């Protein structure tokens, strides 16, 4: 059995990192505008969860499925 490529193993980490980066940005903007730490932490957590779910759903939508074992690949992409 072959080892998975590094691109495949890094993808979940990239998704979590991107969601965390966006959440930190939104949390810092909220902190600078309102100067309330509790509110900015709540916004950070909500943004992180929403970004993570959104990015995961987008990855599911854009990742093509492999054909099953023994199934032929369609000749055109319209099939």
The set of residues, in sequence order, having a beta carbon less than 8 Å from that of 47 and lying 6+ positions away, is 22, 23, 26, 27
Tokens representing 28 are 């810092």
Query: Which residue from 32, 29, 63 is spatially nearest to 47, judged by alpha carbons?
Result: 29
The set of residues, in sequence order, having a beta carbon less than 8 Å from that of 37 and lying 6+ positions away, is 31
Instruction: Chunk the chain into consecutive blocks of 10 residues (it has 79) and report each block's average pLDDT, rounded to whole numbers.
Output: 59 90 97 97 97 89 68 65
């Amino acid at each position: 059995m072959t080892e998975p490529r590094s691109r495949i193993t890094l993808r979940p980490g990239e998704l979590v990192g991107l969601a965390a980066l966006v959440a930190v940005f939104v949390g810092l903007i909220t902190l600078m505008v309102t100067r309330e730490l509790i509110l900015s932490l709540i916004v950070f957590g909500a943004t992180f969860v929403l970004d993570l779910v959104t990015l995961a759903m987008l990855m599911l939508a854009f990742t093509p499925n492999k054909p099953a074992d023994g199934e032929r690949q369609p000749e055109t992409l319209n099939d």
